[in-house]
Amino acid sequence: MNGFVSIRNLQKFYGEFQALKGINLDIAEGEVVCVVGPSGSGKSTLIRCINHLEGFESVSEVVVDGIPVTSGKSLAKVRAEVGMVFQSFNLFPHLTVRRNVMLAPQRVRGLNAIDAAARADVLLKRVGIFEQAEKYPEHLSGGQQQRVAIARALAMEPRVMLFDEPTSALDPEMVGEVLDVMKDLAGTGVTMIVVTHEMGFARQVADRVIFMDGGEVIETGIPEELFSNPKEIRTQNFLSAVLNH
Ligand code: ADP
């Protein structure tokens, strides 16, 4: 096990269908990895296995910061280290923006309200949305809501952040503001694993890009290499389809 996140022979079945066919991956601490590939290739399943939102075959091994990802006791420890941002923001509609960000540190970490609010405000400033702290999610744009969701995940001080197509549900004019927050985050040393269709973002921000197809990792490389000089035919076909469309 060499990585901060280590994945060995990761296999995942949905019934008879094998969504992941033996993935091996090591991700270093602080590394920013973008996972790209056609729809249905297993990208989302892969990152959901890292915090065990999806279970996987017992022959497989996933380790985060030395902690094995299993359904047992260590899962709570893993989840304490891993934050996740989804395509749909999933904010609590009955709580203000600030209270959305305060909730987990209060409930899970036992922070008092004053400390939790102070932490929330720092994070809301960081994602550029402090002015909206008293509002309810429904009064925010999609881009603003997703930035709150990022702040909420950061409030637990995760070592690893998983992003599952965080800009796919947004109107085009709001994509940039969320990607900008993620770019800033990439400079802070938190390990990031980002499933994305935003090739420009991957090219600019990723330390490494992983191309998946058919439940397998087909090719990995630094962005310049993978985008400019893909070695595998499936990578070439995918990139020419998405970059020329
Ligand atoms: P991607 O993120 O690359 O679009 P997914 O990981 O979402 O791919 O899905 C990989 C494959 O697994 C797809 O064929 C999808 O239909 C299938 N799949 C995903 N989730 C489920 C599920 N809950 N039940 C059955 N099949 C699923």
Q: Please write the tens of the pLDDT for every residue from 151-186.
A: 999 999 999 999 999 999 999 999 999 999 999 999
DSSP summary character for residue 211 = E
pLDDT band of 2, cuts 50, 70, 90: confident
What's the whole-number average pLDDT of the chain? 96
Ligand 1: which of 11, 35, 36, 44 to mutate, most ligand atoms within 8 Å of CB? 44
> How many angstroms separate the alpha carbon of residue 149 from the centre of ligand 1?
23
| pLDDT on residue 13 | 98
Per the listing, tokens 């990139």 go with 239
Q: Whose CA is nearest to atom 7 of ligand 1?
A: 44
* Segment 223-237 mean pLDDT: 97
Ligand 1 centroid to Cα of residue 46, in Å, is 10
Question: Could you tell me if 194 and 33 are in contact, meaning their C-beta atoms sit under 8 angstroms apart?
Answer: yes
Which residues are CB-contacts of 142 (< 8 A; sequence separation ≥ 6)? 89, 169, 170, 171, 174
Are the beta carbons of 127 and 181 closer than 8 angstroms?
Answer: yes
Ligand 1 center to residue 131 CA distance, Å? 38
pLDDT of residue 105: 96
Strand ordering across the sheet containing 191-195: 82-85, 160-164, 191-195, 32-36, 208-213, 216-221
Please say whether the beta carbons of 29 and 4 come within 8 A: yes
Distance separating alpha carbons of residues 236 and 163, to the nearest angstrom: 24
Q: State the average pLDDT over residues 33-62.
A: 97
**Chain centroid offset of residue 146 CA:** 12
User: Nearest to residue 129, comparing CAs of 145, 142, 118, 115?
Assistant: 145
CA dihedral of 196, 45, 25, 18, whole degrees rounded to 10: -130
Q: Is residue 217 within 8 Å of 211, Cβ to Cβ?
A: yes
> Beta strand 82-85 with 191-195: parallel, antiparallel or unpaired?
unpaired
Does the pTM exceed 0.85? yes
- Cα of 75 from ligand 1 centre, angstroms: 23
Residue 196 Cβ contacting ligand 1 at under 6 Å:
no
What pLDDT, on a 0 to 100 scale, did the predictor assign at position 1? 59
Confidence of residue 243 (pLDDT cuts 50, 70, 90): confident
Exposed / middle / buried, residue 105 (Cβ in 10 Å: 0-12, 13-18, 19+): buried
